[in-house]
Structure 1
Amino acid sequence: MVGRSPVAAPAAAPPALRARLTGRVLTPVTVTLAVVTVGCALVLVSGGQVPMVLQLVPFAVSVLVFGLPHGALDHLVPARLRSGTGVARSVTVVVVLYLVVGAATALLWTVSPLAGFAVFVGITWFHWGQGDLFVDRLLGDGADRPRGACLTVAVRGALPMVLPFVAQPGAATAVVSGTIASIAGGGGGGAGPVGVPVPVRIVAGVVVLALVVLHLVAVRRGGGPVRRQASEDLVLVAFFVLVPPVLAVGLYFTLWHAVRHILRLELTDPDAAAELERGRLLAPFLRFARQAWPITAIAVAMLVALAVLVRHADLGVYLALIAALTTPHTVVVTWMDRVQRTWRPAADAAISPTTRDETRRP
């Protein structure tokens, strides 16, 4: 049972909790992505296409479920992870962070949507990779040393951010050009695909596959099991190669990244963490949802306001909003990584829900 007082934590979650999270959350998501991959492969073989309206469903769902809400508790994170930080101070610091960094991101998109999108891809690459690194620490496996941690972040961020441009460049670049046109005020409907030179695609593909191999070697050398890492890498490679980019990124964002981060947030709440250790998944999530809905509602209002400002609502508008929220959110998560020592070797990590930063200081 997780205690309610700040005490030193083990390097990873207790074995029973690790087994529950793996068997009831992580593996089902991986299997879901594998099933979608097979389905899309069959559609491709038959000469068909996945309708765009169907591809957009995960993004539509993510507005209220998992996706947009997964960062809605950022304002409580400092109070939960650092002793002596009151809720008022925690909220104030994070709100200022969001106003300053989010506004700077929005300004960049206004001045140069292309530059804004490029920065968005780079930040998302890092942020989605660091999310998977935390799961490695939570489960007590993965690459053990700092170099291995860098490989984890590089690989797991590259799969969703690079492979679509390698395998399906027309569809992937159409999202970029459509988003730029949308923010420029013309809507995204008239934007057509832009080709990616074949040599660039080949080099990028080889680099990503080499990173996957190096990552698995690092896991193996660290003494960790490679079964989960290898199976997830295999599914993700096939997923982002065969599934249309809009559907692939939408599903990954909603089911893979957001769900994993919500688990991380639940583990910072002693009550929710205790429920998880009892094998209960619904109660902690409902608790998270109750806490997250006010900020989620504000984010939805911002989405509506942005759509009114540019006089249309489409995927590009939603991506621009996510970009403005992702930058400060990544700052918060990076601070969480520092406090929880996510980048340290697994034996030095401190990821328990009740761990405070000062309890683990050398």
Structure 2
Amino acid sequence: MSYLSASMSLMASVPGILACTAALGLVALAPEVAEWPAVQWAPWGVGLLVFGIPHGALDHRIPTESDRSPGGLGFLAGYLGAIAVVLMLWWIAPMAALIGFLVVAAFHFGQGDLYWSRVDRFGLQVEGDDSPDHTGEWPAWRSVLLLLVRGVVPIALPVLVFDAMFAEAANALTGRLFGDSARWAIPESIRKAGLVAVGLLVAFHLATLAVEAWRRPDRRAVALSEAAGSALLVVLFSVVPPVLAMGVYFNAWHSVRHVVRLLPVAEPTRSAARAGQWLTALARFHRSTLPTTLIALAMMGGLWWFVRARTGDVADFGLAALAMVSALTLPHVIVVLGMDRMQAVWDRPRAGEVRS
């Protein structure tokens, strides 16, 4: 792996690992503190402003594969149209909107980690990064397995492990805020079967990584690191209260990884990032994303104002913000699919292949 790919991978991984480990340490050493609402919502209050919202705020500045230029008015119209469709679904069928959001979020979380799995193994890179290590075979099912594990764990485990807590939040969101008469409920037999299915999926994933570490000494460090990351997420979402767990994961793990991936690609930051000037690239990133971030915050506030008569405590504001995040997620996922295609994330690696 070249220096640029290695440095990007390090920057993408360390913040999330530290944040998730800190949350686990808090639960182990001071479980009563981890239950405080202020503590659980703190990663959201800070993280959304620093990386959570900004991580998708440059979607309109990412070149497309066809013309290598950022999107224009047509792109903006499509993006806003997708947001409107999701918000309309929340208004018409809130429970369906919630379920759809969980499915899309699971795909997107796995999608983001799949990119870094490929970077670590094959040096998937941007222009200006040389000495690729695109060797060997990589069956498509390995990509699907990684995407499933890294997507299912952050979504399914909070739903299944903290089922009563999740049901209360889901019913408050869909019922109290949006007036849906449907209620979230998972039969105990289905919940247990779901936990077994997730456990088997993770076990198979870890087994394939163990085989890779044994058969490929050159990939041993990568395989063991990936296994440790998956195990960390399993423990995080199994023992840490969902609001806190998702707060540190979404902002410090998922969003940071996407920002690092974005820096060498997006128009305002790519020259500095490809030159290794990361502080300059980050400064340009935050300066460029500020207007869009403020617009997204205003949209969250607008949605909360629209349903304000039905809201109660500060947690309801968080639920309204979650509905708006779901509306922003759909077009963002479509943009990242374009990045996946542009960067050959789903292509079988071949010797000497470089995609920008």
TM-score bracket relative to the smaller structure? 0.7 to 0.9
Partner residue in 2 for 1:5: none
Quote the Cα distance in structure 2 between the aligned partners of 1:297 and 1:349: 42
2:127 corresponding residue in structure 1: none
Matches within 5 A, 1:19-38: 19-38=6-25
* 1:328 maps to 2:331: yes
Letter of the aligned partner of 1:333 in structure 2? V
Q: What is residue 93 of structure 1 aligned with on the other side?
A: 74
Q: Give how far 1:106 is off.
A: 0.9
- State the distance in 1 between where 2:352 and 2:86 align: 32
Q: Distance in 2 between matches of 1:351 and 1:285?
A: 25
> Which of 67, 72, 83 does residue 84 from structure 1 map onto?
67
Equivalent residue number for residue 170 of structure 1: 164
Query: Partners of 1:314 and 1:351 in 2: how far apart?
Result: 45
SS in 1 for 2:19: helix
Report how far residue 147 of structure 1 moved: 0.7
Q: Which amino acid aligns with 2:257?
A: R
Residue 290 in structure 1 maps to residue 287 in structure 2:
yes
What is aligned with 1:266? 263
In structure 2, what is the equivalent of residue 190 of structure 1?
none
Equivalent residues of 1:41, 1:242 under 8 A apart: no
Give the whole-Å Cα distance in 2 for the aligned partners of 1:67 and 1:242: 23
User: How far 1:15 moved relative to its partner?
Assistant: 2.6
The equivalent residue for 1:236 is: 233
Distance 1:350 1:272, change over 3 A: farther
CA deviation string 1:287-330 (max 9, x = no partner) = 11111111111111111211211125611110010011101111
2:48 counterpart residue number: 63
Q: Secondary structure at the match of 2:50?
A: coil
Cα 1:75–1:278 change in 2 (3 A) is closer
Sort the Cα spacing of 1:221 and 1:146 in 2 relative to 1 into closer, same or farther, 3 A.
farther
2:16 corresponds to 1:16: no
The residue identity in structure 2 corresponding to 1:181 is G
Moved more, 134-143 or 283-292: 134-143
Match of 1:122 in 2: 103
Corresponding residue for 1:257? 254
Unaligned runs of 5+ residues in structure 2 are 124-136
| 2:264/2:270 contact within 8 Å kept | yes
Matched, 1:338 2:321: no
Deviations 1:9-47, CA, capped at 9 Å, x for gaps: xxxxx5323432344441342133122112213344xx6
Deviations 1:176-223 (A, max 9, x none): 12221353269xxxxxx9764332222112211222222234445564
Q: Contact 1:74–1:94 (CA<8 Å) still a contact in 2?
A: no
Is the CA contact (8 Å cut-off) linking 1:183 and 1:320 kept in structure 2?
no
Are positions 1:207 and 2:197 aligned together? yes
1:182–1:316 contact (8 Å) kept in structure 2: no
Partner of 1:300: 297
Amino acid at match of 2:21: A
* Superposed displacement of residue 107, structure 1: 0.9
> Cα gap change, 1:329/1:271 in structure 2, threshold over 3 Å: closer, same or farther?
closer
The separation in 2 between residues aligned to 1:326 and 1:270, in whole angstroms, is 21
C-alpha RMSD of matched pairs (Å): 2.8
Go from structure 1 to structure 2 and tell me whether the alpha carbon gap of 1:34 and 1:85 turns closer, same or farther (over 3 Å shift): closer
The residue type equivalent to 1:334 in the other structure is L
Would you say how many aligned residue pairs link Structure 1 and Structure 2? Answer: 329
TM-score by length of 2: 0.83
* Aligned pair partner of 1:144 in 138, 141, 150: 138
Q: Which amino acid in structure 2 is aligned with residue 145 of structure 1?
A: P
1:41 partner amino acid: A
Deviation at 1:273, TM superposition (A): 4.7
SS class of match (2:49): coil
Rate the CA distance shift 1:95–1:273 in 2: closer, same or farther, 3 A: closer
CA contact (8 A) 1:81 1:268 kept: no
CA contact under 8 A between 2:177 and 2:307: conserved in structure 1?
yes
Q: Matched residues in 2 for 1:258 and 1:23: separation?
A: 14
CA distance in 1, matches of 2:23, 2:12: 17
Matched, 1:75 2:60: yes
1 CA distance for matches of 2:117 and 2:282?
A: 21
Give the Cα separation in 2 of the matches to 1:100 and 1:265: 23
Mapped partners of 1:119, 1:245: distance in 2: 19
> Contact 2:15/2:253 (CA < 8 Å) preserved in 1?
no
Q: Pick which of 95-104 and 218-227 moved more.
A: 218-227
**Offset, 1:280:** 4.2
- Counterpart contact for 1:81–1:339, Cα < 8 Å: yes
